[in-house]
């Protein structure tokens, strides 16, 4: 089976491409098609919605953080036993960082690499015929990035649809969808993006509402006809993050959710067993595991409950005495001495590292990161170069006296100084690892 694929792109974040993507995925799955969602760039939350809508795990395809070989291997894996892959762009279609050709992290890199067509979602609120100028700009900006069709979003009336749609079709782009303005279809958000799929009590009902909107407003048959075969060049998983142990105790609940699907899937494929536990339910890592992994998430929203989880704290401390424990972003915050919540109340954390963090004193930290490990840890051996991403609002309020874990640079190689900490077998960083650098 050769999967066919299409990229859902837009001029910017907030144009509605996530709702269109999720609705289309759910509509196709309801028709009995095997369909998988994919996301360009570093994003934990949207792949969760993709998986819920389709029943198949989502995947991130990141042209900056992943070597070409790993990118091709993941794209081929996504297309296995799947009829359609719907790939959602992060931010604007061409948005990435200055980097060598094909390694900018933008969704446009993927359209060029795999020859995939783009379905352009345009928020036409506050404009009409001008939407054609935007569409023409997208159509002509890069001859190697092909706009195959347009979906008009947030229309105010039938007249609005005619004015916008007729102008776009006059320049030769087919309009394959027209969505009326409906704020009830919006997905709720918080400081790191959408509220996660697992936090909805009525998730499937909302996904079905989005699918109903797509069935009503989009020409699904026309969109499927636009999709082209996804046939990546041969690749391999040599640059993937290797399992840090045979049995991995994985914190997993509303406070700890940010583990990339491709990382978990590769660990399992390599023979590792993921053993979940819930710190919020006062569970600790199973002592017969080889390593404990505290992923990112939203510990700042649950700091009081984590501080009161005595068994979690005792079991994790006992585990760390003899075996590796690693924390990323939110997990790194929990490894520290204290975490100050949004109201300014300080809560005692694990104290396995000496730093403290605050969500009351906020500053956004966002961007690609490249880290060379100063010492061996669950991310890899000393000297390993890791590519990843940083996105958090919490700030360090005390640094402690632990040894730095890595030397950090931004996505363009500009040094950012030492990053993360290590003490004994405990390590942590604010950045999320995506893959090993080629």
pLDDT in tens, 237-289: 999 999 999 999 999 999 999 999 999 999 999 999 999 999 999 999 999 99
Q: Does 6 have pLDDT greater than 60?
A: yes
The whole-number pLDDT of residue 43 equals 86
Mean pLDDT of 99-128: 97
Over the stretch 45-60, which tens digit does the pLDDT of each residue have? Answer: 889 999 999 999 999 9
Q: What pLDDT was estimated at residue 350?
A: 98
Name the band, by pLDDT with cuts 50, 70 and 90, for residue 364: confident
Global pTM reads 0.94
What is the band of 182 on the pLDDT scale with cuts at 50, 70, 90?
A: confident
| Per-residue confidence band for 189, with pLDDT thresholds at 50, 70 and 90 | low
329 as an active site residue: the answer is: yes
Per DSSP, 105 falls in state -
Is the torsion defined by CA of 238, 45, 175, 78 positive or negative?
A: positive
In which band, very low, low, confident or very high, does the pLDDT at 108 lie, cut at 50, 70 and 90? very high
3-state secondary structure of 404: strand
Nearest partner of 370 among 333, 405, 416, 401, judged by Cα: 416
Query: Are 5 and 228 within 8 A, CB to CB?
Result: yes
16-45 average pLDDT score? 95
CA pair distance 402, 354, nearest whole angstrom: 6
Per-residue confidence (pLDDT) for residue 177, from 0 to 100 = 98
Return the minimum-mean-pLDDT range out of 128-132, 186-190, 303-307, 411-415.
186-190
Checking if the pLDDT of 326 tops 60, the result is yes
List the catalytic residue out of 289, 292, 329, 377.
Answer: 329
For residues 300-320, average pLDDT: 97
The string of pLDDT tens digits covering residues 133-165 is: 999 999 999 999 999 999 999 999 999 999 999
- The number of residues in the chain equals 438
Q: What percent of the chain has pLDDT over 90?
A: 89
| Token pair listed for 260 | 């990339």
Q: Answer whether residue 191 shows pLDDT above 80.
A: no
pLDDT at position 188, please?
64
State what percent of residues in the chain have pLDDT above 70. 96
Question: Taking residues 206-213, what's their average pLDDT?
Answer: 94
> What is the model's pLDDT at position 45?
85
Is a pLDDT exceeding 60 seen at residue 36? yes
Please give the C-alpha separations between residue 21 and each of 10, 51, 84, 121, in angstroms, as whole numbers.
12, 12, 12, 10
Q: What pLDDT is stored for residue 86 in this prediction? A: 98
| Per-residue pLDDT, 2 | 82
Helix (DSSP H) and strand (DSSP E) numbers for the chain: 12, 26
Q: Which residues have C-beta within 8 Å of that of residue 36, sequence separation ≥ 6?
A: 3, 50, 54, 56, 57, 58, 59, 78, 79, 82, 84, 85, 86
What mean pLDDT is reported for the chain?
Answer: 94
**Residue with tokens 């100050």, as numbered in its chain:** 340
Q: Which of the four pLDDT bands, split at 50, 70 and 90, describes residue 115?
A: very high
Residue 198 has pLDDT above 70, yes or no: no
For residue 141, the SS3 value is helix
Q: Over range 362-377, report the average pLDDT.
A: 91
pLDDT of 193: 54
Among 326, 336, 322, 349, residue whose Cα is nearest residue 406 = 326
pLDDT bracket for residue 181 (50, 70, 90): very high
Q: What tokens does 369 get?
A: 């990161």
Given pLDDT bands bounded at 50, 70 and 90, which one contains residue 192? Answer: low
pLDDT at 183: 78
DSSP designation for 272: -
Question: For residue 7, is pLDDT > 60?
Answer: yes
């Amino acid at each position: 089976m050769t999967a066919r694929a299409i990229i859902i792109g837009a001029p910017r974040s907030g144009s509605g491409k996530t709702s269109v993507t999720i609705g289309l995925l759910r509509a196709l799955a309801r028709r009995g098609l095997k369909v998988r969602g994919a996301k360009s760039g570093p994003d934990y939350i949207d792949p969760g919605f993709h998986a819920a809508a389709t029943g198949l795990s989502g995947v991130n395809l990141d042209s900056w953080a992943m070597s070409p070989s790993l990118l091709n291997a993941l794209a081929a894996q996504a297309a296995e036993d799947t009829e359609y892959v719907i790939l959602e762009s992060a931010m604007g279609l061409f948005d990435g960082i200055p980097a060598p050709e094909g390694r900018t992290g933008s969704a446009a890199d993927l359209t060029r690499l795999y020859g995939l067509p783009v379905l352009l979602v345009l928020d036409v609120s506050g404009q009409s015929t001008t939407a054609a100028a935007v569409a023409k700009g997208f159509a002509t900006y890069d001859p190697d990035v092909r706009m195959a069709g347009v979906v008009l979003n947030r229309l105010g009336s039938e007249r609005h649809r005619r004015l916008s749609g007729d102008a776009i079709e006059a320049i030769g782009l087919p309009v394959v969808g027209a969505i009326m303005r409906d704020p009830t279809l919006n997905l709720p958000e918080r400081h790191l993006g959408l509220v996660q799929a697992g936090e909805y009590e009525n998730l499937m009902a909302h996904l079905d509402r989005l699918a109903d909107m797509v069935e009503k407003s989009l020409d699904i048959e026309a969109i499927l006809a636009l999709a082209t075969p996804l046939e990546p060049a041969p690749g391999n998983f040599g640059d993937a993050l290797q399992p840090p142990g045979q049995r991995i105790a994985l914190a997993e609940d509303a406070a700890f959710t940010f583990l990339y699907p491709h990382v978990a899937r590769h660990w399992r494929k390599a023979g590792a067993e993921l053993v979940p536990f819930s710190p919020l339910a006062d569970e600790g890592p199973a002592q017969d595991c080889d390593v404990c992994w505290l992923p990112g998430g939203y510990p700042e929203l649950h700091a009081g409950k984590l501080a009161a989880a005595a068994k979690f704290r005792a079991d994790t401390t006992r585990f760390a005495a003899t075996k590796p424990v690693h924390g990323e972003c939110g997990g790194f915050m929990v490894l520290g001495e204290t975490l100050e919540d949004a109201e300014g109340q300080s809560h005692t954390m694990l104290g396995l590292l000496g730093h403290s963090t605050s969500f009351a004193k906020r500053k956004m930290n966002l961007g690609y990161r490249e880290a060379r490990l100063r010492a061996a840890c669950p991310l890899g051996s000393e000297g390993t170069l890791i590519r990843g991403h940083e996105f958090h609002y919490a700030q360090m309020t005390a640094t402690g006296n632990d040894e730095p874990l890595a030397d950090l640079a931004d996505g363009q190689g500009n040094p950012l100084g030492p990053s993360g900490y290590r003490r004994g077998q405990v390590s942590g960083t604010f950045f999320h690892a995506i893959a090993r650098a080629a």
